[in-house]
Every structure is written in structure tokens, then in C-alpha cells.
Amino acid sequence: MRPVRSSGLCCLLPGSFSLTLHSLVLVLLLLFIAPRCQAVQAENVTVLEGGTAQISCRLQNYDGSIVVIQNPRRQTLFFNGTRALKDDRFQMVLFTQRLVRITLTNVSVSDEGGYFCQLYTDATHHQVATLSVSVPPETPTVEVKQEAVEGGEAELTCVSPRSKPATTLRWMHNGREIPGVVSQQDNGKTFSVSSTIRIPVERKDNGAALNCEAIHPALSGQKRVRHYRLDVYFAPTVRIVSPTGILREGDSLSLTCSITGNPLPRDILWSKINDTLPERAEISGPTLQISRLSQSHNGTYLCQAQNNFGRAADHYTLLVYENVSVTTMAPTTSPIQPTSTPTSHFLDPKDPSAVVETHSAVPYAVIGGVLALLVFTVICVLIVTIWCSVRQKGSYLTHEASGLDEHGEVQEAFLNGNDASQGKKEYLL
């Protein structure tokens, strides 16, 4: 508080005169006979809005003269310690020969101005105590001027609607300041301030922490901070989580559709390509369950989701094997391969019903083994057929040669005239 001294509150002496003996005697008489001069001092005050101000008037050589305190509108608040204005916020707390003090509670900017400390003697003399009100800013607010969409820009404005003097705003991200465009508006005795930033955004920026800080002298080095989480919108992605291992008749199937996106899609669509879902299929949120599988359930199942920024899908090819009892001869350490592997993909934005990059996995090892077995069986049958054919032809030639030998012996006997006593012999030609 800075005291302001009165200039001209002392009693005035007679005008200029010649310093004669007579005049000197007159001056001495005035100094001893006239009362000593009275003076008043006022103190300037600065207070926070909503606080309590103390307005003080210091008196010198006070002899009981009238003291009046007035507000900036020159309305009398107190007359010699007596309340003159019906405003309970003003209270007289001290009235002595040296000090007069009043208090003003719940101060507002409308209370600013000069408060008059008046001392009525032969002439009216006064001093002014200036009351200044400081308005600290509230925690600033963040306004979204443009939605943050993946691949675009986010436009955010930090606003401090009321302060005095004008507050300073700055944007911070991970300890680094983001330069903004600042604007200021005079609202009479207070100021509104805003700071606008434009930043490019990607999907990874979703949830990034931004801070808007308000700095003001009335905060004594403290800051008012508004924390903001960046909300970036992007199209969904879909991935089907499927079981591993071979599925056989009578088993159960559970497929879960894992979805990301902002906003997160609420509706999830399960379907079967080129067919309808089985009667035993049950859908619970993102999960599709089929109990007591059979080979009629084979096919490709599709999970689709969409939001306002796009759509996506993933598929799973189901292959159910016949349940055949197999005797196990020896344990095996080979891992069982899954029947299929789901592949994540997006739908063509020009044709949402067309699935792009559709892949289906087939048990090539099983089919290859079956084909190899069939080829091996055919080769074995051919070998046996050829061997039997060669064996039969050789036997026929042997019997034919034997018959020729016997025919020759008959001819030789006839030519040599063998005795009839040797008897007849029949020969099979």
C-alpha cells in the first residue's frame, strides 16, 4: 500500500507581507495562538475478487473535526463513524484520532475506484485511496472446433473467459509447448482470452494427453491447468480368434471377433458365405458358437463391423473331419496343425459386399498322403497283373513243347516197323 499525502491541508497563513518588526510579532502570535494544522493520508489497496479490502485513512493532529468516507460514486459511506449507506459489506472497524479504517467484503470489479477520505475543517480537504481488484482466471475450457479424423487435422481452442489483467494461455504436450493463435477480447473491466492450435493426427495419437495452462499474476506462480485427451476417429479393424487343432464331428466351435475402432462398432454381423448360419449357431456379442459339429457345417464364416468412418471384415474356413476310431501304435511328438488360419482383411470401399484378399487354408498334407497311397496301390496292381500274365504264357509254351516230342516218337516207331507185340500206345497230340 502506498500512502498519499495531502498537499495543502495545513492552515494557510496571511498573504505576502514585508518582514517588518510588526509583521514578525504578528507571525509569532499566530504560531502560538492558532491551533496546529490537521492532515490526512490515504492508502491504495489491491485485492482479489471475492476477497476483503481494508481502506484506511491516517489522521495527523486530529482535533475532532468531521471525517467523511465516500465511495467512487461519491456516496457517503460513513459520517464520523456512523453508517450512512445501507450496504452491509462495508463495516467500520476502527476510528481513532490517528486512524480510521473500514472493510469491504466480497469485493467485485464493480467496487474498483477511488475512495475519498475527507476532513472538514475551515475548508474541505480530502485524499483518495484507490481500490484495485484483480480477477484470477478459472480453469480454462477446451473447445473442439474440428473433429480429429485419422489422416486429418484436429483444431482445438483453449478459452479463459474472464480475468483481470488478461491471463496467458499456452498448450503443452509431453513437456513441450505447442504454439497457438492467441486472441483477446475486452469485456469492460475484465478480459477473455483464447488460444487455438491445429495439429495433424494419426490413429496412434488417439488418447494423447494435451494440457492447456493458464498463467496469471494473481495465482502467485501457480497455474490453472485443463487436461484433455485427444479423441481421434478411425475405421474399424476385425480379426477372428479361432481355436487350434483338428475339429471332428461332435466337437464344439467358438469363434470370437476382435474389433478395434473409434467409435467402437456396436453391431457385429456374423454370416456364412453362400449359405445361411447353421440352426445350432448361437451369437453372443462378438462370439459365434456352434455345438455338435458335423460335416454339413463346413464352409467359410464371415465377421463384419462398421462405424461412421469405414467397415472391415475377417473370415474363417471351417473343415470338420469324420469321427473315425484309430488305434494308436506309438505316441507321436508332432504338433497338430490347425484346420485353417483366419486372415484379416478389409472390404472394398467401392463394393462393400466384396471381400478383398480372401484366403482359405486346405489340409494339403492329408490330401497329398491320400493321393500317394492311391498311386502306390495302382502301381502294385499293375505289377501283379503283368507278373501273372508272363507266368501264364510261359506255362503254355512248356506244354506245347512236350506235345511235339511225343508226336515225334510215334512217327519214329511207325517208320522203324516196331513189333506189334509192343502193343498199341495212344498219344495225345
First to last CA, the chain: 157
The third-level CATH classification (topology) of the domain covering 39-134 is Immunoglobulin-like (2.60.40)
The third-level CATH classification (topology) of the domain covering 141-232 is Immunoglobulin-like (2.60.40)
C-alpha distances in angstroms, 102 versus 52, 239, 269, 270? Answer: 10, 75, 75, 78
Nearest Cα residue to 117 out of 90, 141, 99, 96: 99
Q: Which three cell numbers stand for residue 120?
A: 472538514
What pLDDT does residue 352 have? 40
- Within 8 A by CB and 6+ apart from 74, the residues are 116
Per-run averaged pLDDT (10 residues), the chain, 429 residues? 42 41 46 57 92 92 88 92 89 91 94 92 80 96 93 95 96 94 94 96 94 95 94 95 92 95 93 93 93 94 94 95 62 39 42 39 66 88 84 57 47 46 41
Angle at 64 between CA 60 and CA 66, to 5 degrees: 95
What pLDDT does residue 120 have? 84
Buried b (16+ CB within 10 A) or exposed e, 71-97: beeeeebbeeeeeeeeeeebebeebee
Query: Rounded distance, CA 208 to CA 200, Å?
Result: 12
What pLDDT does residue 167 have? 96
What pLDDT does residue 369 have? 80
What pLDDT does residue 80 have? 87
What pLDDT does residue 39 have? 80
Angle at 380 between CA 376 and CA 384, to 5 degrees: 175
What pLDDT does residue 289 have? 95
Question: ω into residue 165 within 30 of 0, thus cis?
Answer: yes
Quote the pTM value: 0.59
What pLDDT does residue 122 have? 67
What pLDDT does residue 20 have? 52
What pLDDT does residue 304 have? 96
Q: Where in the chain is the domain with CATH 2.60.40.10?
A: 39-134, 141-232, 235-318
What pLDDT does residue 65 have? 86
CATH number of the 235-318 domain? 2.60.40.10
